[in-house]
Amino acid sequence: MIYDVIVIGGGHAGCESAAAAAKMGCQVLLLTLNIANIAAMPCNPSIGGPAKGHLVREIDALGGIMGRLADRTYLQMRMLNTQKGPAVWALRSQADKFLYQREMLKYLESFPNIQIRQAEITELLFNTKQEITGVRSQTGLEFAGRTVIIATGTFLGGKVFIGQTHFPSGPMGQLPANELADYLKNRLGIPLGRFKTGTPARVRRRSLDFTKMTPQSGGYQAHGFSFWQQLEQRPEEKCWLTFTNEKTHQIIKDNMHEAALFSGYITGVGPRYCPSIEGKIAQFPHKEQHQIFVEPESIDTDEMYLAGLSSSLSEKVQKEFLQTIPGFEKIEIVRPAYAIEYDVIPSEYLKPSLELRAYSGLFAAGQINGSSGYEEAAAQGLLAGINAVLKLREEEPLVFKRSEGYMGVLIDDLVTKENYEPYRLLTSRAEYRLSLRADSADERLTPYGIKYGLISTAETAIFNEKRTKIKQAMQFFVDTFFTPNAEIQALFQRHNLAFPKNRFSLADLLKRPEISLDFLKELSPNCEFEVAIVNEAATQIRYQTYIQKEAEQVARLQELEERKIPFNLDYDQIANLASEAKEKLKRFQPTTFAQATRISGINPADLTALLFYLENQIRKR
């Protein structure tokens, strides 16, 4: 049988790819090194947070899996940034990692058109036109496919470092995918880059003294990540807070030479936002303490995760410094912290559709593209899955603009410029942050999900009803007027608020930042919309002016986004481009002028030259 889509890798990217393609009616083969590790969380079993939580909402709005599974498997759920404005409100969940895996397997198995198989793929098969035709496994089995998505995560050329020891390995002691790495490097000639990441030790819950730590609760959440289901209320598992101290730091300093990170063995580049404890102490020597969150991983395990303590020190030193931390005096390590190096595809080999430039029908998604994080991987997996199907249908790929979603920001950043470290999405990377709110993800992306058949009829009905209600609520705010009288004045005074002199609407009041929604409710008790609807409608009104400001700031960018650069432009024709610019433009093949502006090493003179060349081409035609 010839599969429509073959997915190599059953992590967060691969699972989303498989499900998206299946929803779009394709025959899918999902290949994984080990079925027991489908959708595993080898680092912190946490989903969401700023930008990442936004991404999960977008994945969900587009018809992906991550949001719904996170909602069904959480141990704790917390809304972050509640004091900082709706654009950055971000849900973060601590997932039961085993439950998440079981739910994912169940979900994928529910599709009759997804076949899941355990196999190590060592070779890709092409026809003479460089079009993908299938894959071959280590045991010589061949699978024919019209498109292939590589989503190998940190397994590709994986190498683990613990102190002075290092050995080829995937995460969590799994087998690495070395032969496939060799194939990509030596047979396809892709100059793979090398990135590094790491994870802290897992320790035994019963060995910890929680009386010396502060409990952290997520609190009640009415809504989860998903737009399509009610949030099931699950019993909460607590996280715990403790701190390192001078003794901890001294032990680490004394053994710094032993850390793999500083030993010179590691060539891969690690992420700045995820430093090891020894890295933090080296960079911030005057910081007296570092916070450590002790987090549950599953109700089915006694292991706990030590957030803040990723390390490449030897197991002996790890135990020694851990014992100095309050509550860790009798700590038992179950799995040591380690650093892991893996291969990544250079960004210039990727199209914005996540298809490889040189190989028709071959896509890549997730950490192999230089990203980090489950959410970033899942988003890419979803888009690669959709685009593989669109390729088969001979339709235009789905490529979001930076103004449409964090997904747009993520993909654009990944494929149009050099990434020097594993890429993590941050809200500060988004030029249109105020518009890209988690609450508006469905408004922005669900129409695409409906268009491509990723959203069910029932979900479409939920979407339409919600959008209608929000419109009604906004209209209600605009249309509900009050004429100041003694009673209203008294209400304002009771709340210590300045009193409007003239007739005013609820929308007028919303423009005043000090007016809370609770106050509005008191003023206008006949508002019958549910809280989530009121919140989103109110935010839209409140943010109007600033969203306009943001729009003005990026208007120029928008104009540049709309200037397309023809595919396969011969940059050698442009006589006065600097050679560095030529080389970069050839490498990255930007599709819009805005992308060209974001490539490092291309300066204004080059951009002007490029622009004038393009304009002249248009005039000549």
Partner 1 sequence: MIFQDTIAAIATPIGESGVGIIRISGDNSKEIAQKILRSPKGEKYTDLKHFQVYYGKVIDPSSENTIDEVLFFYAQGPKSFTAEDVVEIHAHGGMLLLAKVLNICLQNGARLAEPGEFTKRAFLNGRIDLIQAEGIIDLIRAKTEKAHELAIAQLTGRSTRNLAAIEEELYNMLVAIEASLDFPEEALPEVEHDRLVKKTTDLLVRLKKLGKTIDEGRKIREGITIAILGKPNVGKSSLLNLFLEEEKAIVTDIPGTTRDIIEATIQMRGIPLTLVDTAGIRYTENKIEQIGIQKAEELISKADLGLLLLDASEALNPADYLVLDKISSRAKLVVLNKADLPEKIDLPSLQGRAIEVDTLVRISAKTGFGFDSLEEKIVEMLGLGELRVDDRPLLSRLRHQQAIEKAILAIESYLAGLQNKLSEDLLAVDLRAALEALGEITGKKVTKEVLDNIFAQFCIGK
x-marked contacts with partner 1 along 510-539 as a string, rule CB under 8 A: ---xx-------------------------
x-marked contacts with partner 1 along 15-44 as a string, rule CB under 8 A: -----------------------------x
Q: Please report which helix (H) or strand (E) contains residue 203, including its range.
A: strand 202-204
Least Å distance, CB 621 to partner 1, is 16
Residues sharing a CB contact under 8 Å with residue 409, sequence separation 6 or more, in sequence order: 402, 425, 429, 430, 436
Q: What is the largest CA-CA distance in the chain?
A: 85
Whole-angstrom Cα distance, residue 497 to residue 341?
Answer: 57
Residue-by-residue DSSP string for 240-309: EEEE--HHHHHHHHHTGGG-HHHHT---SBPPTTS--HHHHHHH-TT----EEEEEE--TT-SEEEEET-
Q: Among 429, 467, 469, 587, which residue sits at the site for partner 1 (rule: CB under 8 A)? A: 429
Which is nearer to partner 1, 267 or 291 (by Cβ)? 291
The verdict on 112 binding partner 1 (CB under 8 A) reads no
Alpha-carbon dihedral angle through residues 255, 258, 263, 268, given to the nearest 10 degrees:
-100
The verdict on 284 binding partner 1 (CB under 8 A) reads yes
The verdict on 441 binding partner 1 (CB under 8 A) reads no
Residues sharing a CB contact under 8 Å with residue 493, sequence separation 6 or more, in sequence order: 499
The verdict on 400 binding partner 1 (CB under 8 A) reads no
Which is nearer to partner 1, 50 or 224 (by Cβ)? 50
CA 291 to chain centre: 24
Which is nearer to partner 1, 293 or 529 (by Cβ)? 293
Q: Among 275, 361, 373, 449, which residue sits at the site for partner 1 (rule: CB under 8 A)? A: 275
Which is nearer to partner 1, 434 or 534 (by Cβ)? 434
Residue ranges in 192-231 that form contacts with partner 1 under rule CB under 8 A: 200
Which is nearer to partner 1, 33 or 411 (by Cβ)? 411
Q: Is the dihedral of CA 601, 604, 605, 608 positive or negative?
A: positive
The one-letter code for the residue type at 67 is G
Q: How crowded is residue 127: how many other Cβ atoms within 10 Å of its Cβ?
A: 11
Which is nearer to partner 1, 15 or 520 (by Cβ)? 520
CB of 75 closer than 8 Å to CB of 304: no
**Which span (29-37, 488-496, 527-535, 572-580) binds partner 1, by CB under 8 A?**
572-580
Q: Among 148, 192, 274, 470, which residue sits at the site for partner 1 (rule: CB under 8 A)? A: 274
The verdict on 272 binding partner 1 (CB under 8 A) reads yes
The verdict on 87 binding partner 1 (CB under 8 A) reads yes
Round the CA-based radius of gyration of the chain to a whole number and report it. Answer: 26
CA geometry: angle at 176 spanning 171 and 180, to 5°? 140
Which is nearer to partner 1, 387 or 427 (by Cβ)? 427
The verdict on 385 binding partner 1 (CB under 8 A) reads no
Residues sharing a CB contact under 8 Å with residue 487, sequence separation 6 or more, in sequence order: none
Alpha-carbon dihedral angle through residues 169, 424, 123, 112, given to the nearest 10 degrees:
100
Q: Among 181, 213, 307, 520, which residue sits at the site for partner 1 (rule: CB under 8 A)? A: 307
Least Å distance, CB 557 to partner 1, is 11
Phi, psi (5° rounding) for residue 178? -85, -35
Residue ranges in 590-619 that form contacts with partner 1 under rule CB under 8 A: 593, 603-605, 607-609, 611-613, 615-616
Residue-by-residue DSSP string for 361-391: TEEE-SGGGTB-SHHHHHHHHHHHHHHHHHH
| List of residues contacting partner 1 (CB under 8 A) | 44, 49-51, 80-81, 83-88, 90, 92, 200, 272-275, 279-280, 283-284, 287, 290-291, 293, 307-308, 310, 426-429, 431, 433-434, 513-514, 543, 546, 549-550, 553, 559-560, 575-576, 578, 593, 603-605, 607-609, 611-613, 615-616
